[in-house]
Amino acid sequence: MSLPHLLLVDDSEAVLAFERAALSGHYVVTTAANGREALEKVAAVRPAAMLLDLSMPEMDGDEVLAQMQRNADLRRIPVIIISTEKQRAEACVKNGAKAYLPKPIRAQDLLPLVGRVLEDERRATLQGSLSALFVSAGQIEIGLPLDSVLSVLHQAATRPLPIGPSYLCEMLDLHGEPVLVLDLAKRLGQEHARPIEERKLVVIDCQGAPFAVCVDAVRDPEEISRERLSSGEALGGSEHGALGSALIALARTARGPLPIVDPRALASRKLLSDLSRALRAKAIS
């Protein structure tokens, strides 16, 4: 899965070079040197977010933001103001920008801010309509956000791992690469409802290190309207057991209320990272 795309806008080549160096390992970046170029590129690229300077030739950042706010499609793109002009930047935040970072900027401030703005935007999107892939394991059915799913496969041969918890102790070869397999039934304390040869593997994107979730059955994707969603924060988490930390929302469906879950939160990021490194090291050796 491709990295999020950022549009960096500044008339200073030095600032653009710094931003590009700080962000390019985490994002795809496109740059613009003035406001008019920024409007052309934001319409063409439709980036995940824009980093916007204010004082620029041809068109200032304030006007770029104003024109984006008047466009129903561009209005959805979050804008982060990067400027020395505090009062102007704060006015931009009131007029639709998502955040402000004063110059001179530091990588340790820039990276977390961009990540937070994109995560806030993702959560806001999830409060709108949501495409979900519903899967079942044992007696439990959950929805997975469709944008986290790379593919669905028939159960393939797996090999045991020498390390890892009981629900994350197998691997498979996918396109020549070792991939971890998370057994959803075991993770939720369930018994599988189907024999292993009838199960499915849902391959999940996890920041460039995919893993597969073993489930009993997979339904066709469904579009859940905003009116049929309740936020995970409103529901709380502790009473939902193993799903608590992964719970995004509750969807009202014809089959009753069903949890929408972030599959990447079913195992800790550190655990997935440690096991993935161990797999790659074993493959190299």
- Look at 79-83, 143-147, 225-229 and tell me which has the smallest mean pLDDT: 225-229
Mean pLDDT of the chain: 87
- The model carries a pTM of 0.54
Q: Per-residue pLDDT for 1 more than 60? A: no
Q: Please give the pLDDT value at position 236.
A: 44
How does residue 130 score in pLDDT terms, banded at 50, 70 and 90? confident
Average pLDDT over residues 113-142: 87
- Closest to 219 in 3D by CA, of 146, 130, 121, 119: 146
pLDDT tens-place string over residues 56-99: 998 999 999 999 999 888 988 999 999 999 999 999 999 999 99
Q: Phi and psi at residue 237, in whole multiples of 5°?
A: -135, -35
Do domains 5-126 and 130-284 share one topology? The answer is no
Per-residue pLDDT for 38 more than 50?
yes
Which of 63 and 174 is assigned the larger pLDDT?
A: 63
pLDDT recorded at residue 246: 81
Interval 223-245 mean pLDDT: 63
Using a 10 angstrom Cβ sphere, with 0-12 exposed, 13-18 middle and 19 or more buried, the burial of residue 189 is exposed
Identify the pLDDT of residue 244.
Answer: 65
| Residue with more model confidence, 264 or 37 | 37
Q: Which residues of 166-187 are buried (b: 16+ CB within 10 A; e: fewer)?
A: ebbbbbbebeeebbbbbbbbbb
- Per-residue confidence (pLDDT) for residue 210, from 0 to 100: 84
Cα maximum dimension of the chain: 66
Of the options 1.10.1060.10, 3.40.50.720, 3.40.50.2300, 3.30.413.10, the CATH number for the domain spanning 5-126 = 3.40.50.2300
Please report, rounded to a whole number, the percentage of residues in the chain having pLDDT higher than 90. 60
What residues does each domain of the chain span? 5-126, 130-284
Q: Which residue has the higher pLDDT, 2 or 100?
A: 100
* 166 or 128: which leads in pLDDT: 166
pLDDT of residue 121: 85
pLDDT at 283: 56
d(CA 102, CA 81): 8
Residue 266 is predicted with a pLDDT of 84
| Res. 118: pLDDT tops 70 | yes
Tell me which CATH code domain 130-284 carries: 2.40.50.180
Band the pLDDT of 240: cuts 50, 70, 90: very low
Q: Across residues 221-231, what is the average pLDDT?
A: 82
Structural contact between residues 177 and 186, judged by C-beta atoms closer than 8 angstroms = no
